[in-house]
Amino acid sequence: MFETKLVASPMQKIVFAIVNQKQNENTRQNYASALTQFFRWYQNTEYSELSPEVIREYILYMKHSGYARSTIATKLSITKQLFRELWKSGVIDNDTYTNLKEIKIKGPRGQRVKTWLSHEEVQLFLRSIQNNNNRTIRDKAILATMLGSGLRRFEVSELECSQIGKVEGRWAFTDIKGKGERYRTVAIPEWCMNLIKKWLEMREELAWNFTERLFFSIRKNGTPGNTKISPQAIRDLTRKYSNKYLGKPVLPHDLRRTYAQLSYRAGAPLRQIQISLGHSSIRTTEIYLGLDQDFIKAPGDYIKIKI
């Protein structure tokens, strides 16, 4: 429920309309999160109405909170859609809307775009995480999944146990729903599957049948939660372990980029990497075009990790 200093009911309807018009569930969640954050901040300010000054203060707040420039740009873009709907609804006048939509983020662009790990860093990263409890076993399997198969964090969050199966005689994640409602199948290298199997064994010991999600939340006391692990939790654990063992912050997309870089540098065909990352069409379209994935030697196999 959204509550603001503006008229509550019309505002809620506008926000719900913006969020619900998005087709992708992950996009809807991102929009809802960004708008909720803005309203929570706005409630704690002394401003009585929207103005360019208010939004510049909000941008400054996000910068001081440690958000990357790209993240701030995304949140601002979503917030501008709110301004547009407010203008169309007559809540703000034309001059105010014109001034609000012209606000841009100043300052240099971030330098994290090309972050990825070397082969040695990947080995150190995974070897440093000890399999001494259910949380670390789960977390290590999650990190291996992103490094070994190149999945996005929201794709890892949505994985179900039934999506792990044999394809052409080897393990793979099947029917992964990526961006644009596209589905794909991605091979799992042996070293990665070994870590996933350890988690599956732990999962069975916990006798946890509340959810079919492959990875679920774990409470602070070590007991299983009753929900899937969230994309934000995956981001947090990636950053936590990388700061601890690599001495620098690493994000899930950096691991996905690492998968692509190490695979390509080790000789994996560029087209096969592109398919595995989900940057092309769905699997049925690949077959239609006469192009298929190579499950005999998949991209993740080129990353020789010893656990």
pLDDT surpassing 80 at residue 8? no
Q: Supply the pLDDT for residue 2.
A: 39
d(CA 120, CA 124): 6
Per residue in 119-136, pLDDT (tens digit) is: 899 999 999 998 888 999
Fold equal for 8-101 and 119-302 = no
Mean pLDDT within 72-87:
85
pLDDT recorded at residue 209: 64
d(CA 206, CA 204): 5
- Name 43's Cβ contacts closer than 8 Å, sequence gap at least 6: 3, 4, 5
pLDDT of residue 113: 43
Give the model confidence (pLDDT) of 24-71 as tens digits: 777 778 788 888 888 888 776 655 577 888 888 888 888 877 777 878
Task: Please state the domain extents for the chain.
Answer: 8-101, 119-302
- Given a cut of 80, whether residue 224 has pLDDT beyond it is yes
For the full predicted model, state whether its pTM sits above 0.85.
no
pLDDT in tens, 230-265: 999 999 999 999 999 998 889 998 898 888 888 877
> Is it the case that residue 111 has pLDDT exceeding 80?
no
8-101 maps to which CATH number?
1.10.150
> What is the model's pLDDT at position 296?
61
CATH code: domain 119-302 is 1.10.443.10
Given a cut of 60, whether residue 6 has pLDDT beyond it is no
